[in-house]
Each structure stands twice: as structure tokens, then as C-alpha cells.
A = this chain, B = another copy of it.
């Protein structure tokens, strides 16, 4: 199932891994900017034949079984880079998770813990 086929790696070595950047700690209910990208350290190709088509961003709140979809970002091949910043707000701490999709190399994920108080 998806847990067996979504790939993980260190983004410094592997160009497909999405990178999530935002403050380590934010205030509950206050807007902040999260940056999500593929290719931060090693650029991924962006051609019609081979490109990152989309990144989905989720939050998995601590102790809550239900994941929330914060945003879905889709990129036109060649013209759109897999690199966005998105304004979000959270009420509870948890783990941000990004899922990215390469039309050749499939699904990749990464996560970042965030404190919300």
C-alpha cells in the first residue's frame, strides 16, 4: 500500500525529496508562511518528459488519528517550479507532512514537527 511505496531520503542526497521550511514554533491561530519545495539542494529536472507534477501538504496533529490537508499545489511542466510558499494557521501542534510526485519517479515524502502554543 502507499506506506510501502512512498519513498523517503535525505534531501541533500536525493533530489526528489520535498523540503518543508517554517518556524519551529508558532502561535495558535496566527497565520504564518510555510515553504515547500522539491530540489532545494539538488535541482530536479523540469521538462515535459520529467518533472514534479504536484506537492500535497498535510498536518498530522499530535494524538489525533485524522490528518488534515492544508494545501495541494500543482505545477505546469517547464514553467512552474515545484516551489511554493503558502500561508497557513494551526491550532494544535503536530507534524507537517509533504507528499510530492514525479511523473517518472513516483511518490516521496518528508515531515517537520511544529510546536503550536
Using a CB–CB cutoff of 8 Å, the interface residues on chain A facing chain B are 1-8, 31, 37, 48-49, 53, 58-60, 65-81, 83-90, 97, 99, 101-107, 109, 111
Contacts and interface: CB of A to CB of B under 8 A. Distances in A.
A-B pairs, top 9 by smallest CB distance, nearest first, are A3-B3, A66-B106, A81-B87, A67-B106, A83-B87, A85-B85, A72-B74, A71-B80, A70-B80
Contacts of A58: 2, 107
Do most interface residues of chain A lie in helix, strand or loop, or is the interface mixed? strand
Contacts of A89: 78-79, 81
Contacts of A59: 79
A6 B3 contact: yes
